[in-house]
Amino acid sequence: LGVPAAGSFGGPAAGTPSPAPGVRTERPARPPRARAVIEDLLGAADIRIGGDRPWDLQVHDPRLYARLLRGGSLALGESYMDGWWDAEQVDELIHRLLRADVESRVRSPKEALRALAAILLNPQRPSRAFRVAERHYDIGNELYRRMLDRRMIYSCGYWRNASTLDEAQEAKLDLAFRKLHLRPGMRLLDIGCGWGGAARFAAERYGVSVVGITVSREQVRMARDTCRGLDVEIRLQDYRELSETFDRIVSIGMFEHVGRKNYDRFFRVVRACLKEDGLFLLHTIGGNRSVVRTEPWIERYIFPDSMLPSAAQIARAVEGKFVIEDWHGFGPDYDRTLLCWWRNFEERWPELKDRYDRRFYRMWRYYLLACAATFRSRKN
Contact status, residue 30 vs residue 5, Cβ threshold 8 Å: no
Contact status, residue 100 vs residue 377, Cβ threshold 8 Å: no
Q: How far apart are CA 35 and CA 182, in angstroms?
A: 58
Number of helices (H), then strands (E), belonging to the chain: the values are 14, 7
Residues sharing a CB contact under 8 Å with residue 271, sequence separation 6 or more, in sequence order: 321, 322
Q: How far apart are CA 306 and CA 292, in angstroms?
A: 10
Single-letter residue type at 150: R
Contact status, residue 226 vs residue 204, Cβ threshold 8 Å: no
Q: How far apart are CA 102 and CA 259, in angstroms?
A: 26
Q: Would you call 273 a catalytic residue per the annotation?
A: no
Contact status, residue 292 vs residue 262, Cβ threshold 8 Å: no
Contact status, residue 257 vs residue 288, Cβ threshold 8 Å: no
Residues sharing a CB contact under 8 Å with residue 197, sequence separation 6 or more, in sequence order: 151, 152, 153, 169, 173, 226
List 193, 227, 273, 371, catalytic entry: 371
Active-site amino acid positions: 371
